[in-house]
Structures are given as structure tokens and as C-alpha cells.
Amino acid sequence: MTGDSSNRLTLTPEQTAFFKENGYLVLRDVLDRNLCAQARDRMWASLPEGSHLKRDDPDTHYAPFPDHETSDDPLYIRRNERWHLREASTEQFLIDLIYCPDLCNVAEQLLGEGLLQPPVPDGEPMGSRGPAWPGGPTDPAIGDGVRGFYWTLPDRSKTANVDTAHTDGHPFNLGVIGVLNDVPEDGGAFTVWPGSHRRLYPTFQLQYDQPRIPYYDHMPSLKGIINPPEYDAELKAIKEDTQAVVCHGKEGDVVLWHHRLAHMAGNNNSDVIRQVVLNDFNRKDLDTCRLDPPQENMWHDWSGEVNDTAVSYSVEFARDQGITSKVD
Ligand SMILES: [Fe+2]
């Protein structure tokens, strides 16, 4: 990154320590409000004409999308409670929102100065081509910009409690969730299992990527990514012994998260649409190290500052990050 960075957002040692220990970090009031508003406008403008969803009528904001408005186009998904838009992923305003100087400064602080892969304005959005595996979901690794808008309609029955805890299967370094509206605690912004990145990282065969198995019509029982048995066992243990944290917040907040952190989009049992943007910050050398095995030092590819940071933060700080019980 070039230019004067002296006034840019910088993590404190306590914030870096918390990220290192827990694999996520909530930062308040980071995103530009005008760009957040522009992002919301862009999403609403993408609805088909005559949609049942009326921006000014909250009574219409509940799941599911009716059949005639359902879309499985990877660039524009509307199904049940999911409302995703990826066709705007490389538009300049969205790049300006997420690749803002403050977030880039923080990403460089964690991943190393001058090492970030830059986005390509007007490049190829994620979802333009290439499912993760035949018949599988869109591959988030293919795309020149932001992952896209991942909105979740509220569930009027408020009974949804689906467990979809997972780690992402594609290679990336640092995840970011940008919050575009005020999302209450039961609004499903982002659920994480603190510390799970340290326990899951060594269970993988590859440091950033995962082996994949082809799909055959006549042998349909297995396809897509392969999770080692050690991973499945550890994830099960984590869900049993670790209190999940439901990250939520206000317009402009962000959540940073480690690539091997167990997470899920939380259930939206509130009365407002969960409105977030997802992005991956990647290092330019991701391709040269994605197939390496997990390293003895799991922070091998992270900045010297991260490596040198001793894990120390206050109980109050942890509580502010949503941790009310001891982790691990
Ligand atoms: Fe995920």
C-alpha cells in the first residue's frame, strides 16, 4: 500500500493478541457510511420489478422468497432466506468500501506490508464461472474483487436453529465481514467458535486448500471437498466444549476472521434483514503456499508483528468481543 498511513486504522497489541488467540476480531465504526448506504441501495435496486419485497415495508422482509422470485444464478441468489448478490463484486464503490485504506492497513498489519493481492475494478465477479465442484456451490476463490452481498431475510417463525458450522473450503488468508445495517444479537450476523482456528489448522492436509474429489453421476455418494477424520472429530469436540459467539453490530462495523476458524451465518430470528458484505484479503503468494502442509508455526505466513505479539488481553476486552466464558 502506498501513501501516508499514519492516520489509518491500526490494531492495538491487545486487539492483535485477541485475534491471534480467538481467530476473530470485531472492529467498530470502520466502514464509510455513505458507501454503506450506496451498497444498500445497490442491493435493493437489484430486485426484479414487482418483487414482493418492499424496502419501505418491513412486513414484507421475511423469508422465504416465493417460488417465482427464486433464483439460483450464482451472481444473484434468492432462495428461502438467502439473498446474495455477486454481480457487483468488482464495482468501484464496493471495492472502495471494503478495500478502504483503514481495512487495508489492518490487513497489511496482520498479513505483511505490501503483500496484499489488489482487487481488479470491473474485473470478473465471483460466481461468473466455476462451481467449487461439479454440481456444487460457487467457488469463492474465483473472482477479482469482493465476495459479495450476503443478506439473510428474517424468519418470522423464529424457530430456525440450523447448525451449519464449518470452515471455508477455498484458499484465502483473512476473511472480513462488513456490516451494512444495524444487526441485533439474534439477527444472524456471524457466528464463530473462538479459538477453533488453532485446533482445526493442524487437522488439514493442506495449509490453505483442501483436496477435492470429482463428481460422477453413477457414483454420487461423494463429491467436493474432503475433510480429514481428524477435522471432523475436532469440529465436533469444539461445538461441544466451546461457547459460540454471535458477532453482531451496527452499520459500519466489521469482523475479521482467520481462514481456519469454524463459523456460520447465524440464524436470523430478528425482525430485520441481515445486511453484510463478505470479502477475503489474500496475500500475493497464496498460490505458492496453498498446498503446503500445516506449518509447525501456524503464523508462518503472517506478519512479524503477529508472530511477536504475546497473547494478553483483559477480561473486559474479551467480554466486549462477546466472550463471556473461558475459551478452550
Ligand atoms: Fe463459510
How many whole angstroms from 6 Cα to the centroid of ligand 1?
Answer: 33
Q: How far is the CA of 175 from the centre of ligand 1 (A)?
A: 9
Burial of 11 (0-12, 13-18, 19+ CB in 10 A): buried
> 43: exposed, middle or buried (C-beta count within 10 Å: 0-12, 13-18, 19+)?
buried
Cα(227) to ligand 1 centroid in Å equals: 14
Q: What is the pTM of this model?
A: 0.94
Reported confidence tier of residue 256, pLDDT bands at 50, 70, 90? very high
β partners of residue 246: 191
| Predicted pLDDT at 156 | 82
User: At 328, is the pLDDT very low, low, confident or very high (cuts 50, 70, 90)?
Assistant: very low
Instruction: Express each pLDDT in 297-314 by its tens digit.
Output: 999 999 999 999 998 899
In a domain, 159, yes or no: yes
The CATH code of the domain that includes 79 is 2.60.120.620
In the prediction, which pLDDT does 18 show? 98
Quick one: pLDDT at residue 217?
80
> 176 alpha carbon to ligand 1 midpoint, in Å?
11
In-domain check, residue 73: yes
**Is pLDDT of 141 > 50?**
yes
Compute, in angstroms, the gap from residue 164 CA to the centroid of ligand 1. Answer: 9
Range of the domain at 19: 13-320
- pLDDT digit string, tens, across residues 156-210: 876 666 788 999 989 999 999 999 999 999 998 899 999 999 999 999 999 999 9
At residue 140, the pLDDT reads 85
CA dist 288 → 226, 231, 283, 292, 294 (Å): 21, 24, 10, 8, 14
- The pLDDT of residue 4 is 65
- Average pLDDT value for residue range 255-281: 95
pLDDT at 325 > cutoff 80: no
In a domain, 8, yes or no: no
CB atoms within 10 A of CB 278: 22
Judge whether 188 lies within some domain.
Answer: yes
Range 39-48 average pLDDT: 97
Distances (CA, A) of 130 to 124, 125, 136, 138: 12, 11, 9, 7
Q: Is residue 165 part of a domain?
A: yes
For residue 326, what pLDDT band results from cuts at 50, 70 and 90? low
Res 145 pLDDT > 60: yes
Distance 152 CA to ligand 1 centre (A): 14
Ligand 1 centre to CA of 327 (Å) is: 21
Ligand 1 mean position, distance from CA 313 (Å): 27
* CB-based burial label for 114 (10 Å; 0-12, 13-18, 19+): exposed
Q: Which residue has the cell 461445538?
A: 239
How many Å lie between the centroid of ligand 1 and the Cα of residue 140? 10
pLDDT tens column, 224-254:
888 899 999 999 999 999 999 999 999 999 9
Number of domains within the chain: 1
Contact in structure between 169 and 210 (CB atoms under 8 Å)? yes
The dihedral built from the CA positions of residue 290, 293, 296 and 298, taken in this order, carries a sign that is positive
Q: What is the 171 CA–ligand 1 centroid distance (Å)?
A: 12
pLDDT tens-digit profile of 46-68? 999 999 999 999 999 999 999 99
* Ligand 1 centroid, distance to 165 Cα (angstroms): 8
Inter-residue contact 114 to 283 (CB < 8 Å): no
Residue 88 maps to a domain: yes
**Residue 155: inside a domain:** yes
Domain annotation covers residue 7:
no
